[in-house]
Structure 1
Amino acid sequence: MFWLLFSTASYADVYIYQDKNGTTHFATEKKGPQWKWFMRTPKPSAGQSSIVRSSNSQNQRKQLLSEVISSAAYKYRLDPALIHAVIEVESNYKDDAVSHAGAMGLMQLMPATAERFSVSDPFIAADNVDAGSRYLRWLLDEFNSLPLALAGYNAGEGAVRRYGDIPPYKETQHYVTKVIERYKRNLQM
């Protein structure tokens, strides 16, 4: 079944827009004249076989990804239970997930993060988990704190540096709490 993790891809455009407050938004479609084309990114085609989408339940998807997650955990000195927690909160194990901000795949890599870690197709589960885990390890080394690393994963490392703590964004504060709760639950299983 491991071969199902690797697949051919069709391509989708990603558009970018910076609002008057300086906030950058990403979308997979042009939502108006102010939106500019940013990059073309591979994504699974509708008829394509995928290990994650071929499984009906979250538990099945989780089991099918365990080998990939264990490999990344070993490679980047992370607890597999932590990677599972991040994936569950980020995408609920859906490898074709795309957020309103343009984050993609299981670990919801932003286009710039995918590029930073040389991911050509963020919808390939193994590549996404590897890059997301590598980024998480980098954040842990950078901040020497799980809550700050998770805040950096969600809001960006610049926001954590700017505030010297978890940024005062409700989404980020909720995210950190939720991932840590899932991580603790995973450790008890």
Structure 2
Amino acid sequence: MNQLRRHLGQLLTATLLTFALLTTVGSARADIFGYIDADGMGHFSTEKLDNRYQLFMRGDGFFDSSQLAAGGAKPLSPALRDSPLFRYLSQHPNLKKYEALVDQAAQEFALEPALLKAVMAAESGFNPAAVSPKGAIGLMQIMPATAERYGLTGDSKKPVEKKLTDPRTNIRLGARYLRDLLKLYPAQQELVIASYNAGEGAVQKYNNKVPPYAETRNYVQLVRQFYQLYQPAFAQSAASTNAGGKPGLNRIRLVIPGRSNMPAATTPNLNPIPPAAAISATATPLIE
């Protein structure tokens, strides 16, 4: 009985969080521009950095998943469905490769897969070997200090940095952190995403508002747009688009304006999340 109650509680929590995310997604979204270069790399930005960048997603709802889900709604036009940029994000080979791990982590921590995919796209472009200049590692760009905060420890054979290159470990850590942020900022999607980028300490420093860092503000807008794109209705549309067997592309470059100007995260968390405060005791351990 207790197990059933717990399961129902998790389902209810996930449903409420989904509703909160969807009801907030309509505000403060940015236009997304992009192009695919001669080497097959996709470039995306929240600004039109030069003439190569073309409008891909409009902040006013160019892609609206609710329209796709509605019975009498007008579907995406063939031109949009066949857009190389749309295919690039929705049919990326690594997205399919790690989808089962994303779904498992989403279920374990009562998250939407769409949110995990959106953060992963913005953080690493689905590259498990990605390492940022600040030392963030892997698909979800986890800092070693964050991993250790959640109990991941290194040893003589495998330091923490090496363990973070494992996709399953990396995705689960990112999912667990997002889950804690959702509990810290319920129904406040912008603050959850901003905290993932700049740290919850930075959000608290600015009175629980998105910090005035150009990178963080652009990052929030980018992730919210990608969150729209990875809704199930879009996934179905993308799957039908790719039915013709068009070749997939496998590299993404995200240009987030202001990234080089973001201050280093030297301020400690003002109200750090207890590592296991929001996690059910039945959750499988991060260390195996």
Task: Give the TM-score of the pair, scaled to structure 2.
Answer: 0.45
Match of 2:203 in 1: 160
CA offsets, 1:67-89, max 9 Å, x none? Answer: 00000000111110110110010
SS in 1 for 2:129: coil
One-letter amino acid of the counterpart of residue 68, structure 1: L
CA offsets, 1:11-52, max 9 Å, x none? Answer: xxxxxxxxxxxxxxxxxxxxxxxxxxxxxxxxxxxxxxxxxx
Match of 2:214 in 1: 170
1:100-179 aligned at under 5 Å gives the runs 100-119=133-152, 120=160, 121-144=163-186, 145-163=188-206, 164-179=208-223
Shift of 1:117: 1.8
SS in 1 for 2:136: coil
Point out the structure with max Rg over C-alpha: 2
- Looking at structure 1, the residues matched to 184 and 199 of structure 2 have their Cα atoms a distance apart, in angstroms, of 12
One-letter amino acid of the counterpart of residue 209, structure 2: D
- Looking at structure 2, the residues matched to 117 and 95 of structure 1 have their Cα atoms a distance apart, in angstroms, of 20
Paired residues, number: 133
Shift of 1:155: 0.3
SS in 1 for 2:133: coil
Query: Structure 1 residue 62 and structure 2 residue 95: aligned?
Result: yes
- Looking at structure 2, the residues matched to 156 and 123 of structure 1 have their Cα atoms a distance apart, in angstroms, of 21
- Looking at structure 2, the residues matched to 136 and 94 of structure 1 have their Cα atoms a distance apart, in angstroms, of 19
SS in 2 for 1:95: coil
- Looking at structure 2, the residues matched to 117 and 150 of structure 1 have their Cα atoms a distance apart, in angstroms, of 19
One-letter amino acid of the counterpart of residue 192, structure 2: A
Q: Structure 2: where are the runs of 5+ without partners?
A: 1-88, 153-159, 236-288
Task: Give the TM-score of the pair, scaled to structure 1.
Answer: 0.68
Structure number with the bigger relative contact order (C-alpha 8 A, sep ≥ 6) is 2
One-letter amino acid of the counterpart of residue 161, structure 1: Q
Shift of 1:140: 0.8
CA offsets, 1:57-108, max 9 Å, x none? Answer: 9721110101000000001111101101100100011001000111110000
One-letter amino acid of the counterpart of residue 141, structure 1: K
Query: Structure 1 residue 98 and structure 2 residue 131: aligned?
Result: yes
SS in 2 for 1:175: helix
- Identity over aligned residues, as a percent? 41
- Looking at structure 1, the residues matched to 204 and 107 of structure 2 have their Cα atoms a distance apart, in angstroms, of 28
SS in 2 for 1:94: coil
More strand by share: 1
CA RMSD of aligned residues (A): 1.3
- Looking at structure 2, the residues matched to 125 and 116 of structure 1 have their Cα atoms a distance apart, in angstroms, of 18
- Looking at structure 2, the residues matched to 146 and 59 of structure 1 have their Cα atoms a distance apart, in angstroms, of 25
- Looking at structure 2, the residues matched to 82 and 99 of structure 1 have their Cα atoms a distance apart, in angstroms, of 21
Shift of 1:118: 2.5
